[in-house]
Structure 1
Amino acid sequence: MKKVALHNLGCKVNSYETEAMSQLLANAGYEIVPFSEKADVYIVNTCSVTNMADRKSRQMLHKAKKMNEGAIVVATGCYVQTASEKIAEDLSIDIIVGNNKKKEIVEILQEYFKEHKKNYIIDINKTDEYEDLEIATVTEHTRAHLKIQDGCNNFCSYCIIPYARGRIRSRKMDSIKDELERLANNGFKEVVFTGINLSCYDDNGKKLIDVIELAENTEGIERIRLGSLDPEVVTEEFAHRLSKVTKICPHFHLSMQSGCDTTLKAMNRHYTSEEYYNKCMLLREKFINPAFTTDVIVGFPQESDEDYATTREFVKKVGFSELHVFKYSRRDGTVAAKMIGQVDETIKSKRSEDLISVGESLKENYRKEKIGEKVSVLFEEEKEINGIKYQVGHTKEYIEVAVETKENLAGKIEEVFLKDFIDNEIMLATRKVLY
């Protein structure tokens, strides 16, 4: 029995695909071992979102070969697609597997052992076929990510992903239904729909809201959570139908990147700050105090102090429950990398630190508003905090909550009352009414 070790770099979509490959290999008789152990085959699912991600991908591939020089090293994922010529010449890599070929990982290994064929890269920009990977179990015991879409047509000026993932492609509704039922039968209470551009899901006219309603009607699934959404998907019809879904988690990660219209235009984003704000307000009309999270890039080329200040004020106006702040990272092969007016790293760092501070204040304010409320928590694990053992899980708004009890609550959903903060990340709850 050959031993296989897998390592994932990058996004939730990559994580899903790594898990799916692991299950395919296990079903074929391979023994799955931790990446730190000696293995016969090492598979690295690479990322290419930044130049740093490329570098980390190369480092991990070379590390695998050093751990066992006789092992087969397999490179797959986005770095493989964006640097195919360079990676084909790397002698430490035995097999290169392009995106949309991961589902064939068992056959690819069999073919390599017979014929030593190395290259399995396709022209990702010339396929409209969705790679139908699937999973039945995941490493988390209560929450499962379910990939339903791949590819992106947006071509934001800072992003390489359309070149690594190709055009938008969607999973068939029947396939999604089957996986929802498998996950429910294996005890998963919450499903998180994910994709490269989730908002663009389209299976012969069936849209994202139809997938959500499918999950609503799946017995055993008790919570539905959405990955990152583009604001354009939030229409009157979408918001109305979504508000009727009893299992939906009112935690919306709406992709923003900047609150300044000048910067949004330079990024080739297809909305204005006012349009973005109106989408948030539309959802707030349908849901009671929903959680809004987003990503913000600071220091984009030509972003002035005034532009940054506009974004800063817009973030406060929206009232996000959490911010993910990134300094603009120059990515070779993108339009933004060639733009004049690249911002100094010192200025980027200053803006990043400032906006992170704003985000922490917003996060604290949102959670303070919740103190005293009765909330539904899906418990996941036991944690010891300051010497005390707690059962820990997340609310529908994705607030991490801890309850002091000796009872094992993992996998259970309970209503509790938010009491106070344990630290910056976790809130304390009680099973008793506070007031």
Structure 2
Amino acid sequence: MKPAPQTFHIKSFGCQMNVYDGERMAELMGAQGMVAAEADVADLVVLNTCHIREKATEKVYSDIGRLRKDQLRNHGRTPMIAVAGCVAQAEGEEIVRRANVDVVVGPQAYHNLPTLVAQAATGQAALDTDLPALTKFGHLPPRRRVSPSAFQTVQEGCDKFCTYCVVPYTRGAEVSRPFAAIVDEAKGLVDAGAREITLLGQNVNAWRMEDRGLHDLIRALDRVPGLARIRYTTSHPNDMSQGLIDAHRDVESLMPFLHLPVQSGSDRVLKAMNRAHTRDSYLRLIERVRAARPDIALSGDFIVGFPGETDAEFAETLSLVDSAGYAQAFSFKYSPRPGTPAATLAGQIPADVMDDRLQRLQAALNRDQHVFNAASVGSTCPVLIERRGKLSGQMLGKSPWLQSVHVMGDLAVGDLVEVTLTAAGPNSLTGERRPI
């Protein structure tokens, strides 16, 4: 028997959807009367895991050991530990066996977390890695207080089966939340303090409900009173419909930012990845988006060192970067994920070669990000204030193009103010509030 936990701490890793899931788990625990606390003192620690990064599983086991050691040394006890998220889904009972954790819960079952915690308090390890289609959302409490920029999951799972990716195995097939439920939740988020909502999905632009697509959902959300900004991520090039492109042209609240992963500039590598798009189709898609919204900021994802990638094929990726002109992007070294087709491919790339390629790619991406930021200097745009900065009197917000902007002045979190951008760094800008 263990005493029922009175305090909790949730540590989320990885993507924005994990951040959203972590927030919802915190609300579930709060609805049980539990109070949030730091990890080194919490009765219950939830590790909300991501399986995308290299050695993700081993890092989970390392965190479990460290948490127990720290609390035992400092407080003479160990916390109840729950492992949630994609590593929990992939490892299941192996985590219970190897690490003797109290709770293991997958990303589609975390609405059952309070019940699992109660079961663990009886001394019996609790595990739930079922993959029901979106039933969890009907069991989650309403959002009562959120930040000015809030996440909202509208789609989960993936049917693309890229050969390097575990998401179809840990998140399940593509499913879309009902239209009316999303709109109602968005209204609740605005009532709880949100001025901006980012719609989330593994392939968010694959959202479909009867004859409606994501563009129809965005146009409906545009009519929600008090919702000033709409964003969405992450998209797949093959699901980028003309209707969604037109929404970028027509819907003022839809921000001029598009995260559109490409992964490689080589058609042979893209085919080996099972990406189902080509270099040319991707670049032509960007042209169509920019024709509809010329000021759009483009973001992307890249993997270097995919099995068999040659120097010439990596050079094609660099040339695609030069052609695309990214405002920001994410880039990673390939790492084999157990159970994925690419993990057993011949031609695994040596670590030092991947390191060199990643450094060269990031240098090009950082160059273009700085160019984009510098081109913004002198313009005036609305900035949504999200939190206090590090300096006295400094506030930090986001431009329409998802740039971080530092502003000095008498401002409050949640203010949406006109700011003239005065200076650009590699990762952020400085601005001055425009006089009213």
Q: Name the SS of the counterpart of 1:264 in structure 2.
A: helix
Change (3 A) 1:135 1:426: farther
Give the counterpart of 1:414 among 411, 414, 417: 417
8 Å contact from structure 1 (residues 73, 92) kept in 2 = no
Change (3 A) 1:376 1:91: closer
- Is 1:145 aligned to 2:151, yes or no? yes
8 Å contact from structure 2 (residues 96, 125) kept in 1 = no
Q: Deviations over 1:175-208 (max 9, x none)?
A: 2122211111122111111112212212333321
Give the counterpart of 2:84 among 71, 76, 80: 76
Change (3 A) 1:113 1:364: closer
Residue 47 of structure 1 aligns with an amino acid whose one-letter code is C
Matches within 5 A, 1:331-342: 331-342=337-348
- 2:365, 2:120 → 1: CA distance? 50
- Equivalence for 2:318: 312
- Equivalence for 2:94: 86
- Equivalence for 1:428: 430
- 2:165, 2:144 → 1: CA distance? 32
- Equivalence for 1:365: 371
Q: Name the SS of the counterpart of 1:308 in structure 2.
A: helix
8 Å contact from structure 1 (residues 62, 92) kept in 2 = no
Change (3 A) 1:412 1:72: same
- Equivalence for 1:120: 128
- Is 1:399 aligned to 2:407, yes or no? no
- Is 1:294 aligned to 2:294, yes or no? no
- Is 1:136 aligned to 2:143, yes or no? yes
Change (3 A) 1:384 1:114: closer
8 Å contact from structure 1 (residues 149, 171) kept in 2 = yes
- 2:316, 2:255 → 1: CA distance? 30
- Equivalence for 1:206: 212
Q: Name the SS of the counterpart of 1:297 in structure 2.
A: strand
8 Å contact from structure 2 (residues 64, 99) kept in 1 = no
RMSD of aligned Cα (Å):
2.0
8 Å contact from structure 2 (residues 116, 127) kept in 1 = no
8 Å contact from structure 1 (residues 3, 30) kept in 2 = yes
- 2:427, 2:239 → 1: CA distance? 30
8 Å contact from structure 1 (residues 152, 196) kept in 2 = yes
- 1:382, 1:102 → 2: CA distance? 32
8 Å contact from structure 2 (residues 247, 254) kept in 1 = no
My pick for the range that moved more, 340-349 or 369-378, is 369-378
8 Å contact from structure 2 (residues 52, 166) kept in 1 = yes
Q: Name the SS of the counterpart of 2:389 in structure 1.
A: strand
Give the counterpart of 1:231 among 208, 230, 237: 237
Change (3 A) 1:260 1:379: same
- Equivalence for 2:255: 249
Deviation at 1:138, TM superposition (A): 6.2
Give the counterpart of 2:167 among 153, 161, 176: 161
Q: Deviations over 1:353-404 (max 9, x none)?
A: 111111111111112222222211112233245xx74332111101122223
Q: What 5-or-longer segments of structure 1 have no aligned partner?
A: none
Q: Deviations over 1:274-321 (max 9, x none)?
A: 111111111111113210011111111111111011110111101111
Q: Name the SS of the counterpart of 2:55 in structure 1.
A: helix
Q: Name the SS of the counterpart of 1:131 in structure 2.
A: helix
Moved over 4 A (4+): none
Residue 40 of structure 2 aligns with an amino acid whose one-letter code is S
8 Å contact from structure 1 (residues 19, 138) kept in 2 = no
- 1:429, 1:21 → 2: CA distance? 36
Q: TM-score, normalised by structure 1?
A: 0.92
8 Å contact from structure 1 (residues 251, 293) kept in 2 = yes
Give the counterpart of 2:45 among 27, 42, 46: 42
- Is 1:102 aligned to 2:95, yes or no? no
Deviation at 1:35, TM superposition (A): 1.6
Q: Name the SS of the counterpart of 1:89 in structure 2.
A: helix
Q: Name the SS of the counterpart of 1:6 in structure 2.
A: strand
- 1:380, 1:366 → 2: CA distance? 22
Change (3 A) 1:431 1:113: closer
Q: TM-score, normalised by structure 2?
A: 0.92
Q: Deviations over 1:220-250 (max 9, x none)?
A: 1100011111112222232123422110111
8 Å contact from structure 1 (residues 253, 294) kept in 2 = yes
- 1:315, 1:70 → 2: CA distance? 49
Task: Give aligned-pair identity as a percent.
Answer: 26
- Is 1:7 aligned to 2:11, yes or no? yes
- 2:306, 2:99 → 1: CA distance? 37
Deviation at 1:326, TM superposition (A): 0.8
